[in-house]
Amino acid sequence: MGKELFVGIDAGTTCLKTGILDGDGGLVARASSEYTLSSPESDWLEEAPADWWDALIKTTREATKSIDVKKISGVCVGGQGPTLVVIDENGRILRPAITWMDTRAKSEHKALSEKVGREIGPSFIPNLMWLRSNEPKAYKKARWFLQSFDYLNYMLTKNVFAAAPKKPFMPWPKELIETVDLDPTKFPQLRLTGDRVGVVCSEASERTGLPEGIPVFAGAADFVCSLIGTGTTKKGRAFDMAGTSEGIILCWDKPLADPDNRMQSFPHPIGDLWMIGGVMSTAGKSLEWFKDNFYASESYEEIITKIEAIPPGADNLVFLPYLTGERSPIWDPRARGVFFGLSLRHTKDHLLRALMESNAYAMRQVYEIIEEVGGKISEIRVCGGQARSDAWNMVKADVWGKRVLVPQVLDAELLGAAIIACWGNKNFRDLGEAAERMVKIQRVIEPNKANYRTYTKLFKLYKKLYIDLKGDFAELSECGPS
């Protein structure tokens, strides 16, 4: 089994990554390619699906150039979501993809949530409602509504399916389609994570360098791939997925109901387990914004080390990271970023530390609600670009007051996709066994109790700031685009 290789692909929000991994979970090769978000209107955030395909071609060729491609036994694609891709009957893209960060469909989101009596995610179905009202020609001409990874699977195999970890866990529940009278024939058939959706076709083989006929297995949204790729497959384990956005998901043995709809529960891809958690909007994206504006000539590695000279709490400076509104737990597209507590002693390094701490505050707010409604987190596994930084991992451990586990392979989306392909190829009895065997932990970080006490005081203020400013955010949104 160790001689077999598997291709894991992650179509992220700002770049696509391809990894070649062996059957023991070792990362053999990796390549990435960036693309750009466009914002033609206020609150619009779009991407060209053709850019994802170009990035997949580039990265697969680069990642496979030093390996024997005959050893590849499977491919699995995961990615950003819910991001809406619209294609016609010939596979032509009818408009730019509406990404999960896009908040144009505010009124549709509100109307749908009120109609069904619970909080509905602000993407996909609300965006389709917006599309039907504002771009009726594209809606009418559309043959398929796809997710990012479904589109790339189509380009690899020429087959159209929708990948999801469990039947109840669809980006477009039948109930919502019927509630707003969308055309049900435009939504593809379901394939469960790990199901074979086809093989690499001749055209895709010629473009990507992947051998024709290699099986392609249904993946999932990036957070599900990360769940698997961090080994968050037993009750009490949680993981922090940090990229453009960030989320904390707990593995639990039953759904947990939150009467205020701040958190969401989804069926776990393994057995009768459940995923409970929430996702913020701009984590790594907020760091990117800050770097571009204040540290443009320095690398991420260089600027992150600067926070080590700043005390925990950034000398009483707090940042609200709501640069494109916020998802869990406040679900407020009108919220905006705020630095609170600025004084003459603060430098841009203080602002940087406060910004990084804010991501940890946001995730603490999520996990405290998870525990409030009955969950219990024994450990948090980190992944993504942030997890490469010991300084940032230490901030998280101290803010959370939890043990932080750092896996050997930090590209959990890639490892998770490869684990799915390995399992789909019948190398393991079940997905849980595959994850336990292929995920390995390289170190454990324990929280500093004194720092945790400092952060707990500031965290209370962090939560209160939003409550105090909520009405002001709404009033600000009436002043014009932001």
- Distance CA(74)–CA(369), nearest Å, equals 39
Residue 285 domain flag? yes
Residue 165 domain flag? yes
- Give per-residue pLDDT as tens, 346-359: 999 999 999 999 99
Q: Is 9 left (phi over 0), alpha (psi -120 to 50) or beta?
A: beta
Residue 2 has pLDDT above 60, yes or no: no
Domain limits for position 136:
5-219
- Interval 299-312 mean pLDDT: 95
Residue 1 has pLDDT above 50, yes or no: no
What is the pairing mode between strands 162-164 and 190-192?
parallel
3-state secondary structure labels for all residues of the chain: CCCCEEEEEEECCCEEEEEEEECCCCEEEEEEEECCCECCCCCCCEECHHHHHHHHHHHHHHHHCCCCHHHEEEEEEEECCCCEEEECCCCCECCCEECCCCCCCHHHHHHHHHHHCCCCCCCCHHHHHHHHHHCHHHHHHCCEEECHHHHHHHHHHCCCCEEECCCCCCCCCHHHHHHCCCCHHHCCCEEECCCEEEECCHHHHHHHCCCCCCEEECCCEHHHHHHHHCCCCCCCEEEEEECCCEEEEEEECCCCCCCCCCCEEEECCCCCCEEEEEEECCCHHHHHHHHHHHCCCCCHHHHHHHHHHCCCCCCCCEEECCECEECCCCCECCCCCEEECCCCCCCHHHHHHHHHHHHHHHHHHHHHHHHHCCCCCCEEEEEEHHHHCHHHHHHHHHHHCCCEEEECCCCHHHHHHHHHHHHHCCCCCCHHHHHHHHCCEEEEECCCHHHHHHHHHHHHHHHHHHHHHHHHHHHHHCCCCC
Residue 344 domain flag? yes
- Give per-residue pLDDT as tens, 46-76: 999 999 999 999 999 999 999 999 999 999 9
Which residue among 219, 248, 279 closes a domain? Answer: 219
- Distance CA(242)–CA(227), nearest Å, equals 12
**Residues 123 and 155 grouped into a single domain:** yes
Q: What is the mean pLDDT of the chain?
A: 94
Which residue among 193, 219, 245 closes a domain? Answer: 219
CATH number of the domain within which 45 lies: 3.30.420.40
Residue 39 has pLDDT above 90, yes or no: yes
Q: How far is CA 310 from CA 306, 317, 337, in A?
A: 7, 11, 21
Question: What pLDDT sits at residue 242?
Answer: 86
- Distance CA(99)–CA(369), nearest Å, equals 27
Q: Which residues contact 262 (CB under 8 A, 6 or more apart)?
A: 278, 328, 329, 330, 331, 369
Residue 466 has pLDDT above 90, yes or no: yes
**Residues 143 and 291 grouped into a single domain:** no
- Give per-residue pLDDT as tens, 394-451: 999 999 999 999 999 999 999 999 999 999 999 999 999 999 999 999 999 999 999 9
pLDDT > 70: what percent of the chain? Answer: 99
Question: What pLDDT sits at residue 481?
Answer: 74
- Give per-residue pLDDT as tens, 361-380: 999 999 999 999 999 999 99
**Residues 51 and 85 grouped into a single domain:** yes
Residue 301 domain flag? yes
Q: Which residues pair with 215 in a beta bridge?
A: 199
- Give per-residue pLDDT as tens, 164-210: 988 766 778 888 999 999 999 999 999 999 999 999 999 999 999 99
Integer-rounded Cα Rg, in Å, for the chain is 22
**Residues 262 and 239 grouped into a single domain:** yes
- Interval 332-344 mean pLDDT: 96
**Residues 209 and 242 grouped into a single domain:** no
Q: Confidence class of residue 119 from pLDDT cuts 50, 70 and 90?
A: confident
Question: What pLDDT sits at residue 229?
Answer: 96
- Give per-residue pLDDT as tens, 217-264: 999 998 899 999 999 999 999 999 887 889 899 999 999 989 888 988
**Residues 70 and 205 grouped into a single domain:** yes
**Residues 255 and 192 grouped into a single domain:** no
Residue 164 domain flag? yes
479 burial level (CB within 10 Å; 0-12, 13-18, 19+)? exposed
Residue 418 domain flag? no
Structural domains of the chain, count: 2
**Residues 130 and 244 grouped into a single domain:** no
Question: What pLDDT sits at residue 325?
Answer: 93
- Distance CA(41)–CA(292), nearest Å, equals 21
Question: What pLDDT sits at residue 233?
Answer: 94
Angle between helices 412-424 and 431-438 (to 10 degrees): 130
Residue 461 has pLDDT above 60, yes or no: yes
- Interval 23-47 mean pLDDT: 94
- Distance CA(186)–CA(94), nearest Å, equals 14
- Distance CA(241)–CA(382), nearest Å, equals 6
**Residues 240 and 215 grouped into a single domain:** no
Q: How many CB atoms lie within 10 A of CB 205?
A: 17
- Distance CA(482)–CA(476), nearest Å, equals 9
Residue 423 domain flag? no
pLDDT > 90: what percent of the chain? Answer: 82
Residue 118 has pLDDT above 70, yes or no: yes
Q: Is 384 left (phi over 0), alpha (psi -120 to 50) or beta?
A: left
CA 78 to chain centre: 10
Which residue among 194, 219, 244 closes a domain? Answer: 219
**Residues 60 and 190 grouped into a single domain:** yes
CA-based angle 64:67:69, to the nearest 5? Answer: 70
Residue 90 domain flag? yes
**Residues 204 and 257 grouped into a single domain:** no
**Residues 137 and 242 grouped into a single domain:** no
